[in-house]
Amino acid sequence: MFHLVWYVLIGLISGVIAKSVMHVHITIFWTIVLGIIGSIIGGGVTHMFSRPTNERYHPAGLIFSTLGAILVLYICYKLKIHFPQVGLIER
């Protein structure tokens, strides 16, 4: 149960940093989803190059989660995929 809360917390932090860097205004739900996807991508890249000595903690987790989220936003920008934005009124 604690791992799930930890994934959501790291997802939120890395999603907020990534959307601030890329100047995107998305809802809090999509920010968490973005951070979790970035965490999966960043964790995969990190574990390919170095295995953590302690299985519960990897010191580059937040950094690579943020970089993964920035990569996801960049790919979405290039493919013209849009997340639901805050304050967007559809007609």
Give the tens place of pLDDT for each residue, 7-47.
788 889 999 999 999 998 888 899 989 988 988 888 778 87
| Residue 26: φ, ψ to 5° | -125, 165
Q: Please give the single-letter amino acid code of residue 51.
A: R
What value does the mean pLDDT take over residues 46-72? 77
The CA distance from 24 to 58, in Å, is 28
- Give burial (CB, 10 Å; 0-12/13-18/19+) of 60: middle
Q: What is the pLDDT of residue 21?
A: 94
**Average confidence score pLDDT of the chain:** 82
Confidence of residue 74 (pLDDT cuts 50, 70, 90): very high
- 59 has pLDDT over 60: no
